Amino acid sequence: MFRCEAYAAPAHDKPLASLTIDRRDVTPEDVQIDILYCGVCHSDLHMARNEWGFSSYPVVPGHEIVGRVSKVGAAVTKFKEGDLVGVGCMVDSCRTCSNCQEGLEQYCEVGNIQTYGSPDKHLGGTTHGGYSKSIVVYEGFVLRISDKLDLAATAPLLCAGITTWSPLRHWKVGPGQKVGIVGLGGLGHMGVKFAHALGAHVVLFTTSASKVEDAKRLGANEVVISKNADEMAAHAQSFDFILDCVSAEHDMNAYLELLKRDGTLCLVGAPEKPMSVHAFPLLMARRRLAGSGIGGIAETQEMLDFCAEHGITSDVEVIDIKDINAAYERMLKSDVKYRFTIDMNSL
């Protein structure tokens, strides 16, 4: 065991502050990583403030981790000291259930081990995330990172990237399809980039008029201000697929109405409170309401390799760790362009 500098929420109503945590020594299958950058996901804020009701304190958030391998266990075969690597939302799973066997570890029947906030089978307590100097992870959940891309801008791919990539791939988004992305935040801006790269006609829905030009630059063919009923109505019954990346309560029915017959509205955003769904928009056109959680390890590597090949990264604002509480407040005001990434040298 060794001591490690970190930043943590001590309670749901307290700001994040520095904290020294324990990390395990590498077991034969583990990789020890010096963290260089960690993206700031809205889930970090939901968890730090116990908005989903299952946080256990202290919470050390962070699941968009990029770093360099500093040590490997004796049985590690995929990585060596000095390699650039990433860690996303999971650090382990049961590895044996049918979902894990299919490479869908995020849907592990026993429950995957989240990078932070899950039971830590090695040290007891809960796992601690990437707002820290280093992390020790089973090699099966460590990703290879290309040195071709900017590292600060690569970190958000580990959650915002895979969470939007996975549903776009699952629902086979591609040329000839009209695809909507709702909310231009961390997830949404990656959704726009990926849907565009996959060849779809992309429409971005936003509540922020100031984001229209950015959305077009990021790859949207059209932008709709979702508060404008006429603009919304102009797109009725026209979408094959809509990916909803909104972090707060909103009217899903308005988006169901925009789907074609048999179209799918997929939620990846995880608002604190339940949202109501009317039966009619679903049953009048055999539409589907679905959800999707992050992505499996193999699929995350596929997404990272696609990004390296196509030069895709996140648009980031790099911050010091001491600015994290201010960054959370800006995130709540939808004032992020389009992901904060913490430079871990500042810790």
Interface residue with ligand NAP, options 173, 195, 223, 336 (CB under 6 A):
336
289 binds ligand NAP per the rule CB under 6 A:
no
* Least separation in angstroms between CB 261 and ligand NAP: 26
Q: Pick the closer one to ligand NAP by CB: 151 or 223.
A: 223
149 binds ligand NAP per the rule CB under 6 A:
no
For the chain, what is the radius of gyration of the CA atoms?
20
Query: Looking at the DSSP assignment, which residues form a beta bridge with residue 92?
Result: 113
User: Rounded CA gap, 72 and 30, in Å?
Assistant: 6
Please report which helix (H) or strand (E) contains residue 302, including its range. Answer: helix 297-310
Query: Looking at the DSSP assignment, which residues form a beta bridge with residue 69?
Result: 33
Q: Which of 31, 77, 133, 106 has its CA nearest to residue 268?
A: 106
Maximum Cα–Cα distance across the chain: 63
Q: Kindly identify the residues of this chain, within the stretch 82-101, that bind Zn ion according to CB under 5 A.
A: 93-94, 97, 100
Angular region, 228: left φ>0, alpha ψ -120 to 50, beta rest: beta
297 binds Zn ion per the rule CB under 5 A:
no
43 binds ligand NAP per the rule CB under 6 A:
yes
Q: Which of 15, 42, 63, 5 has its CA nearest to residue 345?
A: 5
User: Rounded CA gap, 125 and 129, in Å?
Assistant: 13
Residue 35 · residue 65 · CB < 8 Å? yes
Residue 151 binds which of ligand NAP, Zn ion, none (CB < 5-8 A, kind-dependent)? none
Q: Pick the closer one to ligand NAP by CB: 134 or 226.
A: 226
Please report which helix (H) or strand (E) contains residue 8, including its range. Answer: strand 2-8
250 binds ligand NAP per the rule CB under 6 A:
yes
Interface residue with ligand NAP, options 23, 42, 201, 235 (CB under 6 A):
42
* Least separation in angstroms between CB 103 and Zn ion: 11
Interface residue with ligand NAP, options 163, 300, 313, 341 (CB under 6 A):
163
Please report which helix (H) or strand (E) contains residue 47, including its range. Answer: helix 42-48
* Least separation in angstroms between CB 167 and ligand NAP: 9
Q: Pick the closer one to ligand NAP by CB: 70 or 334.
A: 334
Residue 193 · residue 219 · CB < 8 Å? yes
Residue 35 binds which of ligand NAP, Zn ion, none (CB < 5-8 A, kind-dependent)? none
**Which residues bind to ligand NAP, rule: CB under 6 A?**
41-43, 46, 159-160, 163, 183-188, 206-208, 211, 245-248, 250, 268-270, 292-294, 331, 334, 336
Name the site residues for Zn ion (rule: CB under 5 A).
41, 43, 93-94, 97, 100, 108, 159
